[in-house]
Amino acid sequence: MSLRHISSAFSRRINYAGACCLPKKFARQYGQPAAIGRYDEESAKFPGARANYTNSLELVHPESREPFAVYRVMDRDGQVLNAEEEPKLDQGFVQKMYKDMTMLNTMDRILYESQRQGRISFYMTNYGEEGTHIGSAAALKPDDLVYGQYREAGVLLWRGFTLEEFMNQCYGNCEDEGKGRQMPVHYGSKKLNFVTISSPLSTQMPQAVGSAYAMKRSGSGNCVIVYFGDGAASEGDAHVAFNFAATLECPVVFFCRNNGFAISTPTHEQYRGDAVAGRGPAFGITAVRVDGNDVFAVYNATKAACNLAIQENKPVIIEAMTYRVGHHSTSDDSSAYRSMEEVNLWDSTDQPIARLRKYMEQKGWWNESQENEWKESTRKQVLKAFAEAEKRPKPNWKEMFHDVYQDMPSHLRSQMKEMEDHVAKYKDHYPLSSYKS
C-alpha cells in the first residue's frame, strides 16, 4: 500500500445512505459511526452503535481481518521501491537527517560508557531506533508540541538541542535547565516545545490529548505528537488517551515505537490482536503502520498524519516497527532474555543509519571520505561537550527549596534556614566545593 492510498483513507468521509440517516438533531446524541461504510435502509439505530442487521449468527474472530500492512519507501539496501513515494528531499536536508542520526549514535556510545565508569548515574541508548526519531521530527513544524517518553533524544537533537544541553542534563550540573532535579535523559526544552520527560509510563499520553484539545480550541493551526513504546501501550493511560482523543476530536498524533520489548517482556507476551495500529479502528482513530527503520517512510507518514490532525481535528496513530538493539537502560542486561545472535542479526541487516547511508551513496551525496571525517568530528564534538559538562559544579543546594511556590512560604523559609545552619556547622562533612556557591 502506498502512502497516497493511506492519505486518501485518512481524508475519506463516512457516507450515510438515504433513509438510514438519523435526523441531524440526533446525530451527535446517537454518535457517528467510526467505521467507513454504507448502511441498509433498515439498519440498526441503537444509541451505542450503528450497524446493519444480519440474520446469520457469526462470531467475528480477530484473524478474520487483514493486519495493517507495513508501509515503507526504501528496502534494506536503500533502494526506493516506488518513485512516487520518495519524499524528494534536497541533499542538505537528507544529510542533516543522517548526521543527526549518527551524532545521536556517537553520543549514546560515550554516555553509556560514562555511566559504566560511574561518571553519570543512569543512561538509555537509542540504538536501532534513530530512524523513528529523525524521520518524525523532520516532518513536524517547530511550534508543534512534543511529548516524549524517554527514548526520543533524536527529536530534540533535530530541533536544535545542543550537545552541551544534553551533557548538562545528564550531569545535572549548574547549567542544566532542570537544575539537577531530574534523572539523566529526562530532557525538556520550553524554547523547543518539548515537554519535560517523566518516568512513569503513559502519563504523557492523556496530557498530550489535553494540550491538543487546547490547540483545537485556540485555533493555533498546530498539532501535538506524543511518543510511547509498545509496553506503554499496555498501560491504562494509553487507552484513556485514545478514547479522549477520538471523542473530543483532538489534533494529536500518537507515535508508537514498537521495538519488540517492554524492558524484558517481548511483544508476544504483551498483547494479542493486531499490535498497536490495530487498536485505531476500535477507538475510531485513523492509523498507519510503518517501517521504523526507513526514515523516509516515517517522515511521509508523520507528515500525512500531522496534516490530517490539523486539517480535520482528528487523532492519528502511527506504529513504527523497529528493534531495540541496545539494553533497555544501564539498569538492564538484555542478554538475560534474548540472544546476542538475534541482536547482531538486526543490527547488521536492518539498521536505519546504514539504510540511509546506502541511499545517499547511490545519489552521490556521501562517500567513505565524508564518513570518516564526520565520524571523527562527531566524536570530538561529543567528548568536548562531555568534558566541559563534567567540570561544571552542581547547582546550589538551596535550589531544592525554590520553584515550588512563586513566593516562598514561611515553613519553607524556616526549613531552608535550618538547613543553612546545619551545613554551616558541619561544612567539613559536605562536598560543598562540588556545588555552585
Report pLDDT digits (tens) over 308-367.
Answer: 999 999 999 999 999 999 999 999 999 999 999 999 999 999 999 999 999 999 999 999
All 3 cell numbers of residue 389?
559538562
Written as one letter, the residue type at 123 is Y
Establish how many alpha carbons lie within 13 A of residue 117's alpha carbon, considering only the half-sphere containing its beta carbon. 8
Does the structure show a pLDDT above 80 at 23?
no
Out of 113, 342, 373, 376, which one is annotated catalytic?
113
Q: Taking the model in full, what pTM does it have?
A: 0.91
329 is catalytic: yes
Over the stretch 113-171, which tens digit does the pLDDT of each residue have?
999 999 999 999 999 999 999 999 999 999 999 999 999 999 999 999 999 999 999 99
All 3 cell numbers of residue 259?
521495538
Q: Return the DSSP state at 394.
A: B
Lowest mean pLDDT among 4-18, 233-247, 288-302, 422-436: 4-18
113 is catalytic: yes
DSSP assignment of 204-238, as one string? HHHHHHHHHHHHHHHT-S--EEEEEETTGGGSHHH
Handedness of CA 326, 328, 331, 333 (dihedral sign): negative
Does the structure show a pLDDT above 70 at 39?
yes
Rounded Cα gap, residues 122 and 386, in angstroms: 15
Q: What was the pLDDT predicted at 40?
A: 78
All 3 cell numbers of residue 426?
558541619
Out of 199, 331, 377, 414, which one is annotated catalytic?
199
31 contacts 50 by C-beta, under 8 angstroms: yes
Q: What was the pLDDT predicted at 102?
A: 98
Does the structure show a pLDDT above 60 at 18?
no
Cα dist from 409 to 178, 398, 406, whole Å: 22, 15, 9
What is the percentage of the chain residues whose pLDDT exceeds 70?
A: 92
Q: At a CB cut-off of 8 Å and minimum separation 6, what does 298 contact?
A: 131, 132, 134, 135, 136, 139, 290, 291, 292, 318, 320
Q: What was the pLDDT predicted at 31?
A: 41
Backbone phi, then psi, for 184, in 5-degree steps? -55, 150
Lowest mean pLDDT among 45-49, 276-280, 359-363, 389-393: 45-49
Q: What is the mean pLDDT of the chain?
A: 92
Report strand pairing: 224-229 vs 145-147.
parallel
328 is catalytic: yes
Q: What was the pLDDT predicted at 2?
A: 57
pLDDT average, residue stretch 226-254: 98
Rounded Cα gap, residues 222 and 252, in angstroms: 9
pLDDT average, residue stretch 28-52: 69
Confidence of residue 3 (pLDDT cuts 50, 70, 90): low
Does the structure show a pLDDT above 70 at 8?
no
Which has the higher per-residue pLDDT, 297 or 35? 297
297 contacts 290 by C-beta, under 8 angstroms: yes
Let me know how many helices (H) and strands (E) the chain has, helices first.
Answer: 15, 11
68 contacts 288 by C-beta, under 8 angstroms: yes
Lowest mean pLDDT among 46-55, 313-322, 342-351, 425-434: 46-55
Does the structure show a pLDDT above 80 at 112?
yes
Written as one letter, the residue type at 186 is H
Rounded Cα gap, residues 136 and 291, in angstroms: 12
| Complete domains list, the chain, with CATH | 66-391 (3.40.50.970), 397-434 (no CATH)
Q: What was the pLDDT predicted at 28?
A: 41
Does the structure show a pLDDT above 50 at 20?
no
pLDDT average, residue stretch 279-289: 97
Cα dist from 362 to 296, 359, 373, whole Å: 15, 5, 19
Q: What was the pLDDT predicted at 37?
A: 59
List, in sequence order, the alpha helices (H) in 117-257. Answer: 130-139, 153-159, 163-171, 204-218, 236-248
pLDDT average, residue stretch 58-80: 94
Rounded Cα gap, residues 179 and 182, in angstroms: 8
For the CA atoms of 248, 250, 252, 254, the dihedral, rounded to the nearest 10 degrees, stands at: 20
Q: Return the DSSP state at 357.
A: H
DSSP assignment of 258-294, as one string? E-SEETTEEHHHH--SSTTTTHHHHHT-EEEEEETT-
pLDDT average, residue stretch 284-305: 98
Task: State CA 347 to chain mean position distance.
Answer: 21
258 contacts 265 by C-beta, under 8 angstroms: no
